[in-house]
């Protein structure tokens, strides 16, 4: 058994992507299928949880079948089934968890519940075969902003997190305010390329009692105040300048906190993860800073930054190796914290 390949069938349905993947020995993605619901939610300006759950139910079986087909494997070849059980939208998570439990029960293949944020961090192992813990990772997604030390596989020390809005949430809210709509992050990324990032100075918030914590709600309010004052004074708003200046404020804070953490902890390896990690300007800033400081920088390709099941398969593999197996009492945990395990 020890010399056999470990094939993980992974399932992810925590938000608005229905995804399944097959991952071999933790680092080789044999297939990664993502069915995005973005077009469905765009008309509402954000993710509607009820619609997300219903769409997951419609799509999940097809997506899993496609993942097995594309990987050219049969269910009987699968070593374990890994599924995201939190954090996320409870109704959306339940679809993946129930499906994984049903397949596991029917086939006898072991079940492993995976933490969504751990999945994001583990996405770094897919294309960076040499990357191993310990290192520092910045996880920035729609619901989370964490700066962590990855001490070992599945072992994390949280250095800082957001006190209010997540980085992605700030992108989405500002995008809506300047008329770009949902999904905000990619749209701000694109339009910023035509704007002047130094046109407007927005605040870089500091959290007084915790140097690594983030706060983005003040920045969001500063953008809203700027838009209101322009309207009152009859000054036209340059969408690209606001987008670029806001993006620069976020990037500056993320880079400063991360580089301070890397320097203070003496680890010369740094990675980024989560949907916001696909941001062009953020990636460029980290490449520049890390190269100047002689720090090895790692990031997943954009397709593995935003939600996908391949990252869940990677995290599931390392859980499998540690002997983690879950029973059929595994449930969706919408507020699951990093480092918390299912009891
Ligand atoms: O990791 P993810 O796909 O889902 C969560 O776990 O939340 O992250 C989604 C978030 C959204 O807020 C989206 O606007 C943001 O990531 N995002 C971006 C970019 N692509 C996605 N933010 C900035 N620049 C991007 N290119
Ligand atoms: Zn995510």
241 lines ligand 1 (CB under 6 A): no
In Å, what is the CA distance from 145 to each residue of 62, 123, 141, 213, 221? Answer: 32, 16, 6, 9, 18
For residue 225, what are its two tokens?
Answer: 């105040």
Ligand 2 center–CA 2 separation, angstroms = 32
Q: Which position has the token pair 């301070």?
A: 260
β-bridge partners, 186: none
Determine the residue of 170, 254, 276 to mutate for testing ligand 1's pocket, defined as the one with the most ligand atoms within 8 A of the Cβ atom: 276
Q: Closest Cα partner for 152 from 131, 129, 138, 123?
A: 131
- Ranges of the chain whose pLDDT falls below 50: 1-2
Q: Residue 5 in contact with residue 24, Cβ under 8 Å? A: yes
168 lines ligand 1 (CB under 6 A): yes
Determine the residue of 168, 181, 243, 305 to mutate for testing ligand 1's pocket, defined as the one with the most ligand atoms within 8 A of the Cβ atom: 168
Q: Residue 269 in contact with residue 298, Cβ under 8 Å? A: yes
How high is the pLDDT of residue 1?
Answer: 45
171 lines ligand 1 (CB under 6 A): yes
Helices and strands per DSSP (H, E), number in the chain: 12, 10
- Maximum Cα interatomic distance, the chain, rounded to a whole number of Å: 72
- Can you give the pTM of this predicted structure? 0.96
Counting ligands in written order, the one closest to the CA of 186 is 1
The residue whose CA is least distant from atom 10 of ligand 1 is 142
What is the C-alpha to C-alpha distance for residues 104 and 327, in angstroms, rounded to an integer?
Answer: 10
Ligand 2 center–CA 139 separation, angstroms = 9
What is the C-alpha to C-alpha distance for residues 337 and 29, in angstroms, rounded to an integer?
Answer: 27
Helix (H, G, I), strand (E, B) or coil at 93: helix
What is the C-alpha to C-alpha distance for residues 302 and 135, in angstroms, rounded to an integer?
Answer: 20
What is the C-alpha to C-alpha distance for residues 211 and 4, in angstroms, rounded to an integer?
Answer: 46
What is the C-alpha to C-alpha distance for residues 308 and 85, in angstroms, rounded to an integer?
Answer: 14
How high is the pLDDT of residue 63?
Answer: 98
How high is the pLDDT of residue 39?
Answer: 87
What is the C-alpha to C-alpha distance for residues 9 and 81, in angstroms, rounded to an integer?
Answer: 5
Q: Left, alpha or beta for 179 (phi > 0: left; psi -120 to 50: alpha)?
A: left
Helix (H, G, I), strand (E, B) or coil at 329: coil
Kind and range of the H or E run holding 260: helix 239-265
pLDDT digits (tens, 9 = 90+) for 22-62: 999 999 999 999 999 988 888 888 899 999 999 999 999 99
């Amino acid at each position: 058994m020890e010399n056999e390949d470990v094939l993980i069938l992974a399932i992810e349905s925590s938000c608005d992507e229905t995804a399944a993947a097959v991952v071999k020995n933790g680092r080789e993605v044999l297939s990664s299928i993502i069915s995005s619901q973005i077009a469905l939610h765009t008309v509402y300006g954000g993710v509607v949880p009820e619609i997300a759950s219903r769409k997951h139910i419609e799509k999940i079986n097809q997506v899993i079948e496609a993942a097995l087909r594309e990987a050219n494997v049969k269910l009987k070849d699968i070593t374990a089934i890994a599924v995201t059980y939190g954090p996320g939208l409870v109704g959306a998570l339940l679809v993946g968890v129930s499906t994984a439990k049903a397949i596991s029960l029917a086939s006898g293949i072991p079940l492993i519940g995976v933490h969504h944020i751990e999945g994001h961090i583990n996405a770094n192992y897919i294309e960076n075969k040499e990357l191993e813990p310990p290192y520092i990772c910045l996880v920035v997604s729609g619901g989370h902003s964490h700066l962590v030390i990855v001490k070992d596989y599945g072992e994390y020390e949280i250095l800082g997190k957001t006190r209010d809005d997540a980085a992605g949430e700030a992108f989405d809210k500002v995008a809506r305010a300047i008329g770009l709509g949902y999904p905000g992050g990619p749209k701000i990324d694109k339009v910023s390329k035509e704007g002047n990032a130094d046109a407007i100075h927005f605040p870089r918030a500091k959290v007084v009692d915790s140097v690594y914590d983030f706060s983005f709600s003040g920045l969001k309010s500063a953008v809203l105040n700027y838009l209101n004052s322009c309207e009152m004074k009859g000054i036209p708003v340059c969408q690209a300048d606001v987008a670029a200046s806001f993006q620069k404020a976020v990037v500056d804070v993320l880079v400063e906190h991360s580089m301070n953490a890397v320097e203070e902890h003496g680890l010369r390896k740094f990675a980024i993860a989560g949907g916001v990690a696909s941001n062009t300007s953020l990636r460029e800033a980290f490449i520049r800073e890390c190269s100047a400081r002689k720090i090895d920088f790692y990031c997943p390709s954009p397709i593995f930054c935003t939600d996908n099941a391949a990252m869940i398969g990677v995290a599931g593999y390392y859980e499998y190796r540690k002997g983690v197996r879950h029973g059929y009492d595994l449930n969706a945990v919408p507020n699951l914290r990093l480092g918390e395990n299912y009891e």
